[in-house]
Structure 1
Amino acid sequence: MLAWLSLDTWLISVVSLAYLLLLFSVAYWGQKHSQSRWLNRPWVYGLSIGVSCSSWAFYGTVGQAAATGAWLAPIYIGTILAFVIAWPMLLRILRITKQLNLTSIADFIACRYDRSPYVAACVTLVALLGTIPYIALQLRAISKSFDLLTGSYQSGISTTFVVTFVLIVFSILFGARQVAVNKQNKGLVLAIAFSSIIKLFALTAIGIFATFYLYDGLHDLLNHGANIARNSQPEPVNNQTYFAIAQAILGIVTVFILPQQFHMLMIENHNETELKTARWLYPLYLILINLFVLPIALAGQVLFPGGSVDADTFVLTIPLFYQQAWLAGLAYIGGLAAATSMIIVATIVLSTMVATEVVNPVLLKYNQVISRINTPVPSLLLNIRRISIALLLLFALAFERIIDQQSHLAAIGLLSFVLLAQLFPLLVGALYWRKATKKAALWGLIVGSAFWFYTLLVPALWPNAEWLTYGPFNHSWLKPTALFGINIFGELSHGLFVSLFANTCCLIIISFVSHRSLGEKLQAELFINKQNSHFEQQLSKKDLYQLLVRFVNKAAADKLLKIDASQDKSIKKKSRKEQDASESLLDYTRLQLSSVLGSASTRMVMKAASKQQAMPLEDVVNIVDEASKLFEFNRELLQAGVENIEQGISVIDADMRLVAWNQRYIELLDYPSHLVMAGKPISELIRFNIERGIISDSRGNASAQHQGSEEQVAHLIARRVAHMQAGHSHYFQRLMPSGIVIEIRGQAMPGGGFVSTFSDITAHIEAEKTLQKANESLEQRVQERTIALSQAKAEAEAANTSKTKFLAAASHDLMQPFNALSLFTNMLNKKVQGGELQELATNIQNSLSAAETLLSDLVEISRLDANTEKVEKRSFAVKELLAPLSKEFSVLCAQANIDFSYIESECFIESDQRMLRRVIQNFLSNALNYCPQKNKQGKIVLGVKRRGEQVDIQVWDNGPGIAKDKQQTIFKEFERLTQAQETSGLGLGLAISERIAKLLDSSISLQSIEHKGACFSISVPRVIVHQSFGQNTTQTNQLAKHKQQSEFTHLPILLIDNEELMLTAMKTQLLDWGSDVLTAKDESSLNKALATEGSFRDFIPALIISDYHLDHDKNGVDLVQKTLAANQWHAPCIICSADPSEEVREHTSKANFFFMRKPIKALALKKLMRQVLES
């Protein structure tokens, strides 16, 4: 068995937090000193692109090298080719991103396709779904490396959860402290560059150790590795080739579409010089970080042959195995740097995409609702980004729990890359194909993602599903891993090629059959036309003036001249020729035109007005005419929408005149048709409502007649108009003459004016009245119900008490005949051994044992439910409890050909030892019953796991396991699993164990995977004691086994029992052992037997065995004490009873007698007799 160094958990935790704090400090320093010259060096930018070298690069590539023998992973070959060959494409993306001030990959793609919010949302969703598994990979890598380094192999979700929580905090600190999403974060760039150096240094150190310290250089290591390669069976060449091609394609594609990669390459870029430096620096970095990947993989294969250790962990296990704590810690920090840098950047970028591409459109759509929230919109967006970061990491945590735990890191990383690759056809179409439409892009993305889900994600989530092997409905051509009968590729290659092919076909076909809108045509020109920059500089002031007059108004054009006049006079004296417009004038003109035409049309108009442009201005007029028609259509669409909502709407301009309304407004207020018209002063409508009694003054008068004079009416109208002019919002409820109740809400509009909504809330008011009436009687009904429940509870408690008393009283009488029959059957079985009746006697004995067990369990469950069991907790060594159990079950497991392991522990616990033993014994019995004995080697492990102030006593087995939906059912009475029907038992053991655990204030837990075994554990408090306490603990002396029957020969025994059948059975058994037995049923028969002449006249017992419950309300303890005192005997005594109540046990213990519970087994009685006589 392999064994390696384990480091202290707290030490590694402190080191992890220290690294994260150091990383944050580097980022904070970089942000504070953003003007530092060396911070702006291109090499910092080039190293920051190393964010893509995540834990997959640190751990997974070693595992892949061990499997394939490749020095450089194909995915990195593709990445290097992309930087070297596809350089013009990168430069083109950078220029467009900077020119249009884009913020993310979703913004880039959506901008090309007419700034479609649906395209942006879909790209964001794909980025989320593709990156969440990749983040889950990082979480698994961190927690797995932490557990491996500290030896916490069973930590499970606890480590991953803590890691997730810490990264949520640090991700928010790194990237969610400012609202601006396009603002560059030099501190973040510096921190990522720093982590890239740490990754390179750590992996290089491990490689040097494996190559030059463990072996005599690379040649020696290759010779050892060659022996391993000869003994291994390589994968078919075709599969390797297709897999390598698929990885190389992913390496090319991910350079352009990974959200975090796009952010570091494009958004954090300052100039083209940085990108040119990164063109050679990043490929060099990839080569250097992969320099020792193959040597590490070979060293791991030589050190751990046969796949005994996961190849993904070679970076950690090699130094741990050789007790190199500092090197293992360095490797851990390198892996932590690789994972955290990716997680932090990815969550920041994705939260930005969620906020700008999903949340912002919703906020704009529901602006009226958002305006009622007191929180400012910037703060709201910042909080949304923070919440998004937390949710992203929590979703990644959930995915990490769901995905197959045996999946290698490389497999999860490639799974994510294939989904993100679905963005690549959209990106290529955006850059190089004018006819690509947003509809085609949307459907291509959806179809490609659907194929990815079916061919790759489904097999990863449900790897053991039967239909994956034979296809849905037994149609082999629908198999996810061989769709349409294509089975020449590997699983990853198949999923990549099929999904990208479907995506590209949809993009091309739908683009040809769909129509491009004007906006799509304009945006296509921005992306595809290489001559689309800096044309504004060729416009003169006169050109700008004419554009403003023609498309905006003369006032805006005159303001342009005023701005020009206020500028420096020296500009005017440069030339007699017509001057070019300044940058400030261009910005003003662009802003004015955009407010009327939109940004895309504004760019086309200004381009056409430029003197060196080929596009005639008349063509631009046609474009604007088309835009005007579109505007008119949108206005009509808005009016149709307003007319078809339930609320009434009215809009008043700054002059307090009615300018817009809908038909519902007229219907609710019941206005005459001639009263409402455009330009109607609102004061006249108010007067009309006062006259018909709808509006009242502050004193509650409801009509003009009640107002007293025209002066009061005018005052009321003026007050309401002034309220609206001041911009104060209002809320009223009005009862109309028709009987309906209207809710009126008014809100001022920016720039003057007032908008009001009118809603019919009659049904709501009636419901409130009904609810009020119901509430008035609710208290009385609750009181009546409480009394009824109290009565029912009292009756139930009384019934339960009665049941418990009945079972306790009946148990003694029920157990007596069973006990006698058991003893008789045991003797009969011995008498008829080898005869014809042996099988019959054995069957009778088994049936009686089952009946006794059932009755004992039922009595015990009843006693536990009644809470009459007295718990006696004390501190004791856990091995004092487990060591005897391990000896008993090791013998039973050996007989059943099952491997039994007991892991001893020195810790102390506090509990009731007797009751706790019952629980552990039941766990072991279940494991023994359900362990495989035919198909595979059964294994049972008994051990202890310390968990803070608690200790988990665990029993593991590799049996059939328990399905998730059955793990609660098995704790119910008489519940047994279907596959367990062949084993013995009644299904009461776990029910009893659960009740005992509740009495002990402990908890039982179950971990199980179907077909892979189960682990039952009970948690008990841990006690810290001094060493001397453990040394002074009384150790129970076990009696020697297999003693001869002659040890009880002529042993004088006094036997007392009021049941004739039980008395006869016990006497027969003792006589069979060679003892001299004197029997008695009560005090009188005992005195008579002692006084009788014969062999018992001078009888002095060496042992007394007595029943507790005797006739005439007498008990065996009092009778034995009286007999011992009267005859001056000093014999030990065993009290037997089927009533295990605390009163019986306490009475027996105070008399210094031994207690034995009925039914009595012959072997148990013999063992207790030996123990009593030897003590």
Structure 2
Amino acid sequence: MIDPDAPLQEQLERQARIIDALVRRANRQHEIGTSAYSAFQSAIALQGQVWAKTRDLERAANELESVRHERERTRKNLSDALSAMEGGFALFTNGRLEVCNDLFQSLLPDVQPHVVPGLGIEDYFDALTQSVHVRSTEGRLRSSVSKARGGPVGASVLSFVIELSGDRWFQFSLQRTSDENVVILQAEITGIVRQNRLEKESLIDRQAHYLQAAFETMSSGICTFSEAGEVILHNTRFRELLGLPFTLVQKGTQLSQILDYMRQKALIRDAADVDFDAWADRIGRQDSFRKRIRHAGGRVLDLHAHAMPDQGFMIDVKDVTLESRATEMLEKRVEERTAELTRANRRLTAQYEAQARVEEELRLAKERAEAAVSSKTRFLAAASHDLLQPINAAKLLISTLRDGLEGSPLARTGERLDGCFMSIEHLLHALLDISRLDSTDAALTPSDVCLGTLIQGVIEDQEPVAAKKGVRLDWVPCSAFVRSDQRYLMRSIQNLVVNAIQYTDPGGRVLVGCRRRGSTVVLEVWDTGLGIGLEDQKRIFEEFARARNVPFGSGMGLGLSIVERTCRHMGHKVRVRSKPGVGSVFSIEMAMVPGTRSASPEEGALVRAGGDSAADLIALVVENDADVLFATTQKLESWGASVLGASSTEEALGLVHDIGMPPDIVLADYQLDGDDTGIRTIEAIRAATGVKVPAIMITADRSDALLRRGAEIGFAVLTKPVQLSRLRPLIDWKTRWQAPDPPAAATATDKSRP
């Protein structure tokens, strides 16, 4: 191991490295597991001797120059110590074999010639893996060498196990002891491996007994098979369920033999159920499968086979006879029930088809009814202008006639004639309102409406009627705003007030007001009239329905129907509380909306403007109906106005050109001949005169589009038949109170009752 012919300093350095490797090996010995170094117990006993020799070597190193024979003795002692070790030892310096003992050198006979000083550590392991005496390695030779050479000094031992021929086992341990040195220790662990093997086999045997005992307690039949299909373990229940003899299910019996026996004895009714090849194929492809078989003894067995981790498989057999019978009974009941349901389904299908035919007939009837309603609505809308024109003319003529008959014996006749036409007007308005509300394409226009303004307008209209009948009409101002259609909400309030006055005897009282309830407001109309019985309160909102205690000829029963339809379309709630002989309370509940709005100039002016003063002004009336034009002219002239009558825009422009000055006010019908309209007339007069002449549109058109157009251009809108109580104040306000050139004219809507 040490060349005596080498220089003294080199011999000392080599001895120091050998001593250092032995010392480090002894110091690190406790880091190696006891199982790995149990074979080195004798070497451990020599630890004290190694330390003593080490001290001797250290002293010899200091005296080497003078005592040469001490160096030889020390080298001999080192060689003896290495030879006395039970395991192999090798020291590699800079990847080359520096020193080793005989056991390390002679471990593998075919590798021994190569184990000489200077052998590379990689070359040694290459020869190790190629040796014919090596049966298996852990596959970590290269990685262990790299970690040992590149790891820090004193790092933990890296070890791996190699199996040699003859069932011998060695543990190789590598450790880096310095920057250049790597120590390899070989420890034979054959005894440990064999002992572990025996313990493992014993443990497996005990586990087999435990497993067998567990199998015997199971209610299911269990049998395990090896990869080759041989019986390993089974319980008694497996043999009993399948009806197999005891000798047939011993360890080592092939599954194919068991299946052949069952086939020969006809233990299974269906021969295909005991096909071994099919079983093996399904287990190999699916890892498990289930099969229900019928035993010759009448039992129904549920068989479950699944693969085991060791490539074998296990078969689990359960007796499911009761469950199968219950299932069969249930299936039979299901079949019977299915048959019943099928028959019921046929009946229902026939009924459904009959119902579908009825629904289709109803749908067609509904479409025809809707078409009829739409046709009626279109007809009434188209005919409303022609219907209202003569009524409007008649009202104007009757008003003029009554003024001329005042104080004469025929004054009473004129008054009755006026009442008759008023009833016709009310009925016509009610029919038009109901037609529009019932129309499938009816579109109310919701907006923010001030209830106080609507109530005030209704009260002003009905005060003369109430006073004439001797009924006290009171109202409580209200500033709440709601979201509703202004025109139809006003119609509803007007209908309730008119009914209250109509069915209240002279000396009675009618009160109109609002109550706030959280986020809602309830408009109420109280009266001390006839009252309504409980049996009539549910039907009074239907068309032509009246209470039983109402005198004959007091109305057609359409007013409350309009109220109900309006509230239903707008989402309001209408209610009635009444007691015969005491009175009634009709209420409309609406959601409030935030908002404040001052009264429009026209609303305030209509109250202030007088209706009895002389109308000293020039009025231009444009109307294509000769009767209406004549009646309007007569009425305006009776008020003291100078009237220019025209039937078209061109004729109106000619009259204005003839007088050489703009008129004081223009009263125009919306629908003139051809494509001529009142809007065109108003715009043409203003353009020709250069003056924004006040204008009022008198029309049967009730569309919101016309109201918006009037607000844009600057003209008021009154619907036919015109109310003279509205027309006179509006003319006075337009000609006396309105500013000469307002930025935007307001719109006065017709507030006449239907």
TM-score, scaled to structure 1: 0.33
Match of 1:1056 among 596, 607, 622: 622
Does 2:730 correspond to 1:1168? yes
Deviation at 1:794, TM superposition (A): 3.7
Q: Structure 1 residue 1070 and structure 2 residue 633: aligned?
A: no
**What is the match of residue 555 of structure 2?**
985
Equivalent residue number for residue 1119 of structure 1: 681
Which of 952, 966, 969 is residue 539 of structure 2 equivalent to?
A: 969
Tell me the number of residue pairs that the alignment of Structure 1 and Structure 2 aligns. Answer: 430
Q: Which amino acid aligns with 1:1007?
A: R
Change (3 A) 1:900 1:1059: closer
Please state if 1:1141 is matched with 2:714: no
The one-letter amino acid of 1:1056's match is V
Q: Which residue of 1 aligns with 2:591?
A: 1021
Structure-2 change in CA distance of 1:869 and 1:1101 (3 Å): farther
Is 1:1080 equivalent to 2:646 in the alignment? yes
User: Which residues of 2 match residues 69-218 of structure 1 at below 5 A?
Assistant: none
Indicate the SS of the match to 1:979: coil
Q: Secondary structure at the match of 2:540?
A: helix
State the alpha-carbon separation in 2 of the partners of residues 714 and 854 from structure 1: 88
Contact 2:370 2:440 in 1 (8 A): no
| Distance of aligned partners of 1:941 and 1:1139 in 2 relative to their CA distance in 1, 3 Å threshold | same
> Aligned pair 1:795/2:362, yes or no?
no
SS at match of 2:667: strand
Structure 1 counterpart of 2:518, from 945, 948, 961: 948
Please state how far the C-alpha of 1:963 moved relative to its aligned partner.
2.0
Counterparts of 1:885 and 1:1098, CA distance in 2: 41
Q: Distance in 2 between matches of 1:897 and 1:1090?
A: 48
Aligned match of 1:1037: 604
Distance 2:450 2:675 in 1: 41
Match of 2:564 among 988, 991, 994: 994
- CA separation of 1:805/1:907 partners in 2, compared to 1, >3 Å: closer, same or farther? closer
Q: Determine the structure 1 residue equivalent to 2:669.
A: 1107
1:785–1:798 CA distance, 2 compared to 1 (3 A): same
Whether 2:488 is the aligned partner of 1:915: answer yes
If asked which structure has higher relative contact order (CA below 8 Å, sep 6+), I would say: 1
**In the TM superposition, what is the alpha-carbon distance from 1:1145 to its structure 2 partner?**
3.2
1:1020 deviation in Å?
Answer: 1.1
Summarize the alignment of residues 569-648 of structure 1 with structure 2, pairs less than 5 Å apart: none
Residue of structure 1 equivalent to 2:409: 836
Instruction: Output one character per residue of 1:978-1014: Cα deviation in whole Å (capped at 9) or x when no partner.
Output: 3223564321111111222233221211222333322
Alpha-carbon distance in 2 for matches of 1:709, 1:1034:
100
User: How big is the alpha-carbon RMSD for the aligned residues of Structure 1 and Structure 2?
Assistant: 4.0
User: 1:711/1:940 Cα in 2 relative to 1: closer, same or farther (>3 Å)?
Assistant: same
Range with bigger deviation, 867-876 or 1116-1125: 867-876
TM-score (norm 2): 0.50
Residues 981 and 857 of structure 1: is their aligned pair in 2 closer, same or farther, counting only changes over 3 Å? Answer: same
Identify the residue that residue 201 of structure 2 maps to in structure 1. none
Kindly state the Cα deviation for residue 1112 of structure 1 after the two structures are TM-superposed: 1.6
Deviation at 1:1117, TM superposition (A): 0.9
1:903 Cα deviation (Å)? 3.8
SS of the counterpart of 2:532?
coil
* CA distance in 2 between partners of 1:1167 and 1:1042 (Å): 5
Of residues 405, 429, 446 in structure 2, which corresponds to 1:856?
429
Contact 1:929–1:983 (Cα < 8 Å) also in 2: no
Would the alpha carbon gap of residues 1069 and 908 (structure 1) be closer, same or farther in structure 2, given more than 3 Å must change?
A: closer
- The AA in structure 2 aligned to 1:1150 is E
Q: CA deviation at 1:904?
A: 4.1
Matched residue, 2:262 = none
- Pairs within 5 Å for 1:145-294: none
The 3-state SS of whatever aligns with 2:604 is coil
Query: What are the residue-to-residue correspondences of 1:679-694 with 2, within 5 Å?
Result: none
Match of 2:582 among 1004, 1012, 1015: 1012
CA distance in 1, matches of 2:373, 2:536: 28
Deviation at 1:897, TM superposition (A): 3.8
Which deviations, in whole Å up to 9, do the C-alpha atoms of 1:1019-1044 show, x marking residues without a partner?
A: 1112345xxx47x6668414457947
Structure 2, gaps ≥5 residues long = 1-268, 271-293, 302-318, 739-754
Q: Quick one: percent identity of the two aligned structures?
A: 27
Shift of 1:1072: 1.3
Does the CA contact (< 8 Å) of 2:533 and 2:547 recur in 1? no
Task: Supply the AA of the counterpart residue of 1:1073.
Answer: W
User: In the aligned structure 1, how far is the partner of 2:366 from the partner of 2:544?
Assistant: 26
| CA-CA distance at 1:1016 after TM superposition | 0.9
Do the aligned residues in 1 keep the contact of 2:543 with 2:557 (CA within 8 Å)?
yes
Change (3 A) 1:712 1:913: closer
Structure 1 residue 1047 corresponds to structure 2 residue 620: no
Map Cα deviations across residues 461-510 of structure 1 (whole Å, 9 max, x no partner).
xxxxxxxxxxxxxxxxxxxxxxxxxxxxxxxxxxxxxxxxxxxxxxxxxx
Distance in 1 (alpha carbons) for counterparts of 2:414 and 2:465: 23
- The structural deviation recorded for 1:1118 is 0.8
Q: Secondary structure at the match of 2:529?
A: coil
Q: Structure 1 residue 807 and structure 2 residue 387: aligned?
A: no
Tell whether the 8 Å contact from 2:649 to 2:680 is kept in structure 1 after alignment: no
**Pair 945,1089 (structure 1): closer, same or farther in 2 beyond 3 Å:** closer
| Amino acid in structure 1 at the alignment position of 2:576 | L
Give the distance between the partners of 2:460 and 2:362, measured in 1 at CA.
51
Once the two structures are TM-superposed, the CA of residue 785 in structure 1 deviates from its matched residue by: 5.6
1:1060 is displaced (CA, Å) by: 1.0
Larger proportion of helix: 1
Give the residue type in structure 2 aligned to 1:1047: A
Change (3 A) 1:1003 1:765: same
- Paired residue for 1:224? none
Q: For residues 939-976 of structure 1, give each alpha carbon's deviation from its aligned partner in whole angstroms, at most 9, with x where no partner exists.
A: 33322222232111111223232222222321122222
Deviation of residue 1076 (structure 1)?
A: 1.0
Return closer, same or farther for 1:983/1:927 CA change in 2, 3 Å cut-off: farther
Report the AA paired with residue 915 of structure 1: Y
Letter in 1 for 2:376: K
Q: Distance in 1 between matches of 2:412 and 2:471?
A: 27
Distance 2:459 2:429 in 1: 24
SS at structure 2 position matched to 1:823: helix
Helix, strand or coil at the partner of 2:407: coil
Inter-partner Cα distance in structure 2 for 1:875 and 1:1042? 27
CA distance in 2 between counterparts of 1:1063 and 1:1127 reads 23
**Aligned ranges for residues 24-35 of structure 1 at < 5 Å?**
none
Q: Structure 1 residues 1022, 1069: CA separation in 2 closer, same or farther (over 3 Å shift)?
A: same
Moved more, 1080-1089 or 999-1008: 1080-1089
Residues 892-925 of structure 1, C-alpha deviations (whole Å, 9 max, x = no match): 5454443444344454433344432221221111
Q: Which residue type is aligned with residue 800 of structure 1? A: V
